[in-house]
Structure 1
Amino acid sequence: MVVLTLKAKNDHLQRVASTRDNIKAIAEYVWNALDADATEISVDLDRTSLGGIVAIVIRDNGSGISQSRAEHDFESLGESWKLHAARTTKRGRAIHGKEGQGRLRFYSLAQNARWTSVYETNEGRFQIKIEIDANHLQNSSVSEPTSVPANEPTGTVVELSPLKNTFDWLGGEDARSEFDSTFAPYILQYPDVKIVYDQHAVDPDKTIEHSYQFPSQPIICPGRTVKDLTLRVIEWKSHVAERKIYFGGEAGVVLGSLPASVTAPDFSFSAYAYTPFFNEIAKAHLLEFDGGLADPAFARVLEYIRDTLGDYFRARKAERSGELIQELKDAGVYPYEGDPRDEIERHERQVFDIATHAAVSYSKDFKKADNPLKKIALGLLKEALKNNPESVTRILKAVFNLPKVRQDEFSQLLERTELGNIISASSLVANRIVALEVLREIVFEPKHRNTIKERGELDALIRDNTWIFGEGFHLTMAEAGLTKIMDRVSDELALKRKRGAKVRKPDGRIGRIDSFLGRVVPRENANLHEYLLIELKRPSLEIGRKEVDQLEDYVNAILAQPDFINTSTQWHFFLVTTKYDDVVGQRITQENRPAGLFIDKPNHRVWVKSWAELIRECDARLRFVQEKLRIEVSTEEIQERIARLKASVLKSPDQPQSDHRRMGEPSFDFDNAAPVSVNGQQPQTGS
């Protein structure tokens, strides 16, 4: 017997050998057998009379371990013969291990590992025995070869015993399904191989429900491109304990795995990703416990895989629910008609179908309901999904009495796949695009431009779309006088001020501004507030010095108020028009200032902006998302929106229908006007 000593310290070897994945530890010995060209491999769990597992034995009919190979491989770490071999010696199959470390994986399971191997040479067949103790991983005892009969089959038996802990769970269904998940792709790749785990053969034909191979494609990663990534997903007939993504350098070979972290209710699956890049990651020991996320390229590939799987299972869920959805359509209770109009509705329908499938499958009340009630329930679900996706799970509970576990699954689906965010963002962007198109039509098209007034369609449109001036501006008061503005600001700043005290311009006249919007800006100083005042001009008016002077009067009236001299406020004043004359143009295009900036002071800025400039800025914010969502707005929809806008203004008994006062004409006092609601809610301060 010879004792081989690894040139590495025991604590280092323990780190290399340790794993919390017990099935992976056992699988290492199966992979070694496959790399030795074995066609039959069995993993036997030796039990006591009471059923407790006391030993793990792996048997194979491979080519065995020769004395020379044992003396080389068991005396070195990371210098396996497989390192320079692309394929197995006899059968030309893909090789799994190349690191020469798998034999040490028993450390997490057993106190000892013993190999009994028969191999063939030109002189005949021989047997050797090898043993490693978990307390001395650096030492391997290798027996002298002994001759065996020529009919003695080659192969290796590895016995792991005594076990360090109670591993009875290894004989359970979860362990077996994990083992099957690991080796099913190999059996598919090499059907002549038979692998048995605890007397149960790995049989893909009996265990696979459905499989799909994604098209191979390169992934652009930070600093490199990962080429030839192939991805396959297998759906299992039986439950799997943990859904995982398995990584391999070549199809059928698994180097490691990570949790799938993909929301796919009711699916038992495993995913298999293959690329030579994973050999590098495995060599760096990054395929366990998300360690690979430290590598930016691997993190990007993993993100791609998870995104692809998420898309796949949403489609599969929709596919499963297709039959049910067709039944609802045939019954006339499905709330959508025809094909989806755009990407927004396509996403919306996809989530709706999944939610409906979940609700109908588990709701006895819905199944018993008459068609009119079903139609109402599904219509409610549709509207919630379209306008407030976050409320969908509450509706599933209240209307469909969906079990808590199914509510949680659907909540995770919305959260992890961000479908709710997609729908909300799509709806938001679509509404904003329509609003911009309507605004563009109002201020630029001659048929509207010459009839649109400040009060009416224009200020109503701006009132309901305050985001045009910035996402944070949310307070609006249509046609509010300066006195009312100051009262409102007093309320916002929690200041005491005599209600109704008149605020006048320097010439003593009562001022009025067209729209008042405000926001509180989150800063280190919680008392700092930010406000926006807007003066709108009708599209047909070209402004000049007089209108700019009027704006400056408003600015001075606000800034002169003693209540706010020592208050931390920031003011933004805007005069918005379609066109300004050359005099105004010169005043707002000064060197070292942004275009449109008229006055720039520490606590306030005054701007003169054209509608064209505002629309361009809004377009720039929305264009990228619009292209990704492929949102298109038809001419008919624009005209319909304008018509509805006009109708809503003309029918409002509280909304004066006359033109905005012209410069110098008498004006109504709007100091007592009530705040205008935004999206059905009274204005309030937010941060």
Structure 2
Amino acid sequence: MTDHVLLEAGDDLVRQLSHEREAVKAVLELVWNALDADALQVGVTIERSAIDGVEKIVVHDDGDGFTPEVARNAFRRVGNSEKREGGTTPRLKRPLHGKAGRGRLRAFALGDTTRWTSTARALDGQLMLTTVESGFGSRTTWSIDARPAPDTADCGTTVELWGKQSTHLNRLLEPKAVSQITAALAPYLLTWTDVRVTYDGALINPRDQVQDEEWSEDLTFEYEGQPQSFQIRLIHWRTGSERMIALCDAAASPVETIDATAEHSDFTYTAYVLWSPMPRHRNEVPLITLGGETPLAPLLTTARAWISSRLEDRRRRQRRRVVDRWIDEGVYPYPARAEGSQAQAEQATFDLVATSINRHITGDRMKKRLTLSLLQNSLRHNPDQMVEILEKVLRMSGDDVSHLHGLLQQTSLSSIIRASSIVTARLQFLTVLEHLVFDEETYGLVGERDHLHKILERELWVFGEEYNMMRSSEIGLTRMLEHHRRAIGWDPTPDGPVYQLSGRRGRVDLMLSANSTEHDRVRHLVIELKAPDVDADRDQANQLDDYMQTVLNDPRFANIDTTWDFYLVVRNIKDRLKPQLRQAGQPEGLYSQPTSYEHAKVRVWVRTWSEILREAKQRLEFVKSGIEHNPSLEQALDYLRSRHGDLIPDQLRHAPPLPQPRPDGAHDAAV
């Protein structure tokens, strides 16, 4: 006998519940239906089309099935399921999952046509075969056919779904689908070990996938002044990329899931939050982001804090073991005990970053040492590009890249380390440069073009940090014109060569340019280097004066928003030139500054290496002092102490005591 049952729900609700993007969730609903029917064997079969797409899905179980009377009642309503909250199955007394009566409607996410075939024993003991069918075009109408089943038939239910052409169904064929189903069923299958669920021919066995398990802990949260108790259980997975918070009822049956992909990306885990009233708060997760009044907000805050604490403990233990192993292998690039707070902070940051990508640091001893040395060098000198470098060298996944970015953003130590390393290296360079220029045994051997020029074109910060980027080296006056016009945004192509007033073609050693913040001017610095054994005289100064006259008298250089400084850089200045460089009312070292030209500001200077080195050192010492007293350093160290105290050196684990004022109001001198 065939009946037609009209669903007591609008088509829009059915459409919402059968959203095609929820294919994995729809399969899970059918599996839970089978388990709620006391099934011990549940199999999900996926039949493929000729082009390897999903053609048909079949879910079969050996549960108790349903009778025609149950079908007529169940397929008529949405909600108010007969499965009571906190109830158990009739025969095996296992916890019930379904409580909203919506699982059968989610089947439309898997097929345009659905057929349920169930064999069950009626109250009078007779076996009945019940078939329920519906199509996507008539989703609110179900045809129910009932007839006696053979006495030899076994109880159970088969759900068949086909006829849907959607690329979203192909997600069922991805490895991630197995991970999601394993995570959702894990607490149930770990508890009810006699239950077997197969998916696309493979057994769902969470025990094989569990890497480590944090057993449940009793916690409380407060809502509207009342304490609420719940449990939480954390499972780490061996494979996959799942990071999920499952909101469950008291029996660990998921009601809702929250994607935690952006949280703790160095672990693969599922956290099960068990709370008896959870089914009554289904679909309330979106309200949290809107500030809605729901107990899930304080519940999740408490749960996330617990998860972070547990994962941080695990992370610390793993990191410490990794660093100890690197030390034992002789591949660790730092000494056992760093000296100085900045060095210690750098080492702690290195440990933090290196251990977070430990699984990519593989190979023999030599390869590990090279990789760790690369990481150390990148952290010191170029942390902004360190992630990009490691991504290419180690072929890190997107999750690892995001995690590494997050680590460097959480602490300002990377920028402090880089600044400190740059300052230290530059101070060392100035010491070497001073030795080359002034040491009596070496300065006579240092050439202008072979040595000074080649060295300084890589260290242009010596002349000012603003000139560290835009530069041209060893260029003629025509190229100097091109560079100038390009800097001010004009067509750089010259209409002919540039000559000095004498008719000769000149050539400058270095031309540096920068955009000045003063009146939006472009500032050019033209440098003429002389070997240390050449003292400045009028002949050398006049060479730059000729360049200056070229700029002033060639209209192609004209631009009122440009400042030109010509530097003659020497070791010593001859006495007969010194008076002209020390005129009243003029800066020391200024050789010439014509005032009769309005289209450009042009100056010629004679500078000694002593002056340039002194100014460069003063700038670096100022930066170094700022780093050492930068409150960001102490804040970053506080972050490391609180989050990674097991990794940082012993002397950094405790913050130094603040200086105490003396009774007379003075303070003790710094040690």
Match of 1:409 among 396, 400, 420: 400
What is the CA-CA distance between 1:23 and the residue it aligns to? Answer: 0.4
SS at match of 1:255: strand
CA distance in 1, matches of 2:14, 2:261: 31
Q: Tell me by how many angstroms 1:246 deviates.
A: 1.6
Q: CA deviation at 1:279?
A: 1.3
| Distance in 2 of aligned mates of 1:213 and 1:346 | 37
Task: Return closer, same or farther for 1:364/1:213 CA change in 2, 3 Å cut-off.
Answer: closer
Structure-1 separation of matches of 2:518 and 2:293: 50
Deviations 1:552-582 (A, max 9, x none): xxxxxxxxxxxxxxxxxxxxxxxxxxxxxxx
Distance 1:204 1:421 in 2: 41
Kept in 1, the 8 Å contact 2:45–2:58? The answer is yes
Counterpart AA for 2:204: V
> Does the alignment pair 1:107 with 2:108?
yes
Match of 1:270 in 2: 270
CA contact (8 A) 1:262 1:306 kept: no
| Deviation of 1:295 (Å) | 4.6
Contact kept, 8 Å, 1:281 with 1:292, in 2: the verdict is no
> How far 1:199 moved relative to its partner?
0.8
Task: Name the CA shift for 1:644/1:176 in 2 (closer, same or farther; >3 Å).
Answer: same
CA deviations over 1:186-224 (Å, ceiling 9, x no partner): 110211111111111111222222222252201234665
1:222-301 matches, cutoff 5 A: 224-235=226-237, 237-240=238-241, 242-282=242-282, 285-286=283-284, 294-301=292-299
Equivalent residues of 1:347, 1:423 under 8 A apart: no
Contact 1:83 1:99 in 2 (8 A): no
Name the counterpart of 1:420: 411
Query: Residue 305 of structure 1 is aligned with which of 303, 306, 310?
Result: 303
Structure 2, gaps ≥5 residues long = 417-516, 520-637, 644-652
Change (3 A) 1:92 1:635: same
Deviation at 1:233, TM superposition (A): 2.5
- Distance in 2 of aligned mates of 1:128 and 1:335: 73
Give the superposition deviation at 1:78. 1.1
Alignment map for 1:545-556 (pairs within 5 Å): none
Correspondence 1:356 to 2:347:
no
Task: Tell me whether 1:143 sits opposite 2:141 in the alignment.
Answer: no
Amino acid at match of 2:113: N
Q: Distance in 1 between matches of 2:372 and 2:406?
A: 27
Alpha-carbon distance change, 142 to 363 in structure 1, aligned in 2, over 3 angstroms: closer
Q: CA deviation at 1:59?
A: 0.5
Could you say what secondary structure the match of 2:29 adopts? helix
1:127 to 126, 129, 136: 129
1:189 and 1:252 in contact (8 A); partners too: no
1:229 is displaced (CA, Å) by 2.9
TM-score (norm 2): 0.55
CA distance in 2 between counterparts of 1:113 and 1:169 reads 19
The secondary structure found in structure 2 opposite 1:143 is strand
Cα 1:349/1:204, change in 2 over 3 Å: farther
RMSD of aligned residue pairs (Cα, Å): 4.7
**Aligned counterparts of 1:376 and 1:23: Cα–Cα separation in 2:** 43
Q: Distance in 2 between matches of 1:293 and 1:416?
A: 29
CA distance in 2, matches of 1:195, 1:61: 11
Query: 2:201 & 2:348 partners in 1: Cα distance?
Result: 43
TM-fit CA distance, 1:88: 0.8
Q: In structure 2, what residue type is equivalent to 1:420?
A: T
Q: In terms of mean alpha carbon deviation, does 412-421 or 119-128 score higher? A: 412-421
Secondary structure of 1:205's match?
helix
Structure 1 range deviating more: 166-175 or 95-104:
166-175
How much does 1:635 deviate? 8.2
What are structure 1's unaligned runs of at least 5 residues?
A: 385-390, 426-491, 495-623, 648-687
- Counterpart position of 1:325: 323
Evaluate the alpha carbon distance shift between residue 363 and residue 45 of structure 1 in structure 2; reply closer, same or farther with a 3 A threshold: closer
Contact 1:245–1:272 at 8 Å: present in 2 too?
Answer: yes
Moved more, 209-218 or 47-56: 47-56
Contact kept, 8 Å, 1:318 with 1:353, in 2: the verdict is: no
Q: For residue 313 of structure 2, what is the aligned residue in structure 1?
A: 315
Query: Does the residue aligned with 2:94 lie in a helix, a strand or coil?
Result: coil
In 1, the alpha carbon distance for the partners of 2:71 and 2:323 equals 62
Q: What is the alpha-carbon distance in structure 2 between the residues aligned to residue 156 and residue 422 of structure 1?
A: 61
How do 1:348-387 residues align onto structure 2 when only pairs under 5 Å count?
352-358=350-356, 362=360, 368=366
Asked if 1:3 corresponds to 2:1, the answer is no
Partner of 2:45 in structure 1?
44
Q: Residue type matched to 2:184 in 1?
A: T
Q: Is the 8 A contact 2:353 2:404 kept in 1?
A: no
Q: Sequence identity of aligned pairs in percent?
A: 21
TM-score (norm 1): 0.54
Matched residue SS, 1:82? coil
What's the offset of the Cα at 1:392? Answer: 5.0
Q: What is the count of residue pairs matched by the alignment? A: 437
DSSP-derived class of the 2:83 partner: helix
User: What CA distance in whole angstroms lies between the structure 2 residues aligned with 1:400 and 1:10?
Assistant: 49
2:179 maps to which residue? 177
